[in-house]
Structure 1
Amino acid sequence: MDVFPAFFPLAGRSVAIAGEGEGAEAKARLFDGSPATVLRLSPGEALDPKAYAGVSLAFIAGEDDQWAASAAEAARAASVPVNVVDRPALCDFTTPAVIDRGEVVAAIGTGGASPMLATMLRQDIEARVPEGAGRVAALFRTMQGEIRDALPEAAARRRFLRAQLNGPAAEAAMAGDMDGARERLRAALFEGPQMAGRIRYVDARGPADLLTLRALRALASADVLVLDAEAHPEVIALARRDAERLTGAEVERLVEFAAEGLTVARLIAGAGWRTEQAALDSRGVTTEVLPIAS
């Protein structure tokens, strides 16, 4: 990892955009609808360090190289991190391609090397992130205290939240019914978390871009990865980094995982998985195929 991605809170912050032209306007559009205060600095104002007092981030946009370097120097003199449009060597940080879903924000960066590539990847990912995702995030934020009080044990809380992300509460939030979503989430808390685990079979022969959205979500949410030795590295790389990983596992071990309420992503690359699935089904373990080619 050549750069460290981080999300910067904007509430109560000021952002300076120095210069004129399309580059400056593009940076200003990044903050449409955000809680940040946007300060527009003229080319002359941008050369005075005092203009950046109280500013958290500065964006410099202009055609003149010498002016851009001087404006960046002025911002740094005020201890403000700087992004200079189209001049990576002058930047303290680069601007990613952003997917904005309210409280859900995704960003793709290339360290300034290829903004067009970042844009292309953003478009690909954006199609996979539904418009209502931000409302789902808002639901869990507003209910965070109630959920923590009801489920103080972290592992149980994670299992409950994972189940609810695909449950009626999330569906209601996605549709815009926030009152109904809160009612459903409280009802699920009152009933108690569902502890039954499941085994999800994912075709791991690769390449990764052939995976379905459901398979990607299974990889992202799995507590345990059980891999065939031939599982494609690109597919494995999409799984949670903190998930337990095993190469192969006996049916009894998979039954134990399910009994513990864990979700297992079974990454398969061979043909023997159907016998394993049948054995699990006979033991009452919930299995799911996402989907698998014959």
Structure 2
Amino acid sequence: MIASLPLFHRIATQPIIVLGAGEAAEAKRRLVERAGGAVIDDLQEGIDKGARLAFIAHEDEASAKADALRARCAGLLVNVTDRPELCDFTVPSVLDRSPVLIAVGTGGASAGLAKQLRLRLEKLLPQSLGALASALYAARGELRLKWPSAGERRRALDAALGEGGALDPLQEASAARVPSWLVGKAEALPAGPAEIVLGSLDPDDLTLRQMRMLGAADLIAFEEGTPEKVLARARADASRVAIPLGAPAPEVAGLVVILRVPRPVGS
């Protein structure tokens, strides 16, 4: 179970309340302006203008609590600097490869940890990642023509974007290969039933191949006793169906992954 739902909120041209003085408040103002938001320094003015988000960076705890309560009662989502217990949302450390954004958050537990993880990822992810995303966006029409169904497109992209694939996102030249990949004989991950026999009930024991299968599946058929933590590694929008122990895969179109739980020795 995750403690919060990560979302990307479009705020360009929108009024955003930022209250407080000092470096913490200035940092929030810069963050809002970077995303194109219009900073409002007065709580009532922001409410009147229809603001949906409020950043509160008062050093005085009583002032922070009072303004957070007032903003929340007006229907705004609130972030209070250094007081995660007062926050409706937290601000992650953001890695920018526009239009690709990678947000690393700790739910307010440690901004320093989030920053260091982001810095490690900065070294791994090439600057060309944004160009690859833009090239795929521009190719949406061609993708639909080549693979008419959503499942076909997803499996083709999973094969191309996987490690060592034609469009491996960790390779600098991937964006330039999009046109040739589309006109060539692009391979897709296979459809049909695929079985995963769990070696244990620990999701960390899943292999890279099994993770790729779960990430590409259209339907997850799972035996009784499959932990929710394992199911959470699958695509969030994949269909799910519980099946009895040993039952065959349902006969449906697309990639069906059957999760089998470990059997006791001798069974």
SS of aligned partner of 1:82: strand
| Aligned amino acid, residue 264 of structure 1 | V
| Aligned amino acid, residue 182 of structure 1 | V
Structure 2: give runs of 5+ residues left out of the alignment: none
Per-residue CA deviation, residues 269-293 of structure 1 (Å, 9 max, x unaligned), is: 2499xxxxxxxxxxxxxxxxxxxxx
Q: Distance in 1 between matches of 2:32 and 2:68?
A: 20
Residue 264 and residue 121 in structure 1: after superposition, are their counterparts in 2 closer, same or farther (change >3 A)? farther
Q: Which residue of 2 aligns with 1:36?
A: 36
Q: Distance in 2 between matches of 1:122 and 1:240?
A: 27
1:2 to partner: Cα distance: 7.4
Q: In the alignment, is residue 238 of structure 1 matched against residue 233 of structure 2?
A: yes
Q: Which residue of 2 aligns with 1:62?
A: 58
Q: Which residue of 2 aligns with 1:153?
A: 149
SS of aligned partner of 1:182: helix
Q: Which residue of 2 aligns with 1:285?
A: none
Residue 66 and residue 161 in structure 1: after superposition, are their counterparts in 2 closer, same or farther (change >3 A)? same
TM-score by length of 2: 0.66
Task: Give % identity.
Answer: 29
Q: Distance in 2 between matches of 1:214 and 1:2?
A: 28
1:81 to partner: Cα distance: 4.0
Q: Distance in 2 between matches of 1:122 and 1:217?
A: 28
Aligned ranges 1:1-294 → 2 under 5 Å: 5-28=6-29, 30=31, 34-37=34-37, 39=39, 45-46=41-42, 49=45, 53=49, 57-69=53-65, 71-72=67-68, 81-87=77-83, 91=87, 93-102=88-97, 103-106=100-103, 108=105, 110=107, 115-116=108-109, 131-132=125-126, 136-166=132-162, 168-171=165-168, 173-177=169-173, 179-188=175-184, 191=185, 194=188, 196-197=190-191, 199=194, 201=196, 203-227=198-222, 229=224, 231-241=226-236, 242-245=238-241, 246-247=243-244, 248-250=246-248, 262=255, 264=257, 266-267=259-260, 269-270=262-263
Maintained 8 Å contact 2:20/2:58:
yes
Q: Larger helix proportion, structure 1 or 2? A: 1
Q: Distance in 2 between matches of 1:98 and 1:121?
A: 6
Maintained 8 Å contact 1:99/1:106:
yes
Q: Distance in 2 between matches of 1:118 and 1:214?
A: 33
Per-residue CA deviation, residues 246-290 of structure 1 (Å, 9 max, x unaligned), is: 45344xx59x77xx6526365452499xxxxxxxxxxxxxxxxxx
Q: Which residue of 2 aligns with 1:282?
A: none
Q: Which residue of 2 aligns with 1:290?
A: none
Maintained 8 Å contact 1:202/1:215:
no
Maintained 8 Å contact 1:69/1:90:
yes
Q: Distance in 2 between matches of 1:236 and 1:47?
A: 43
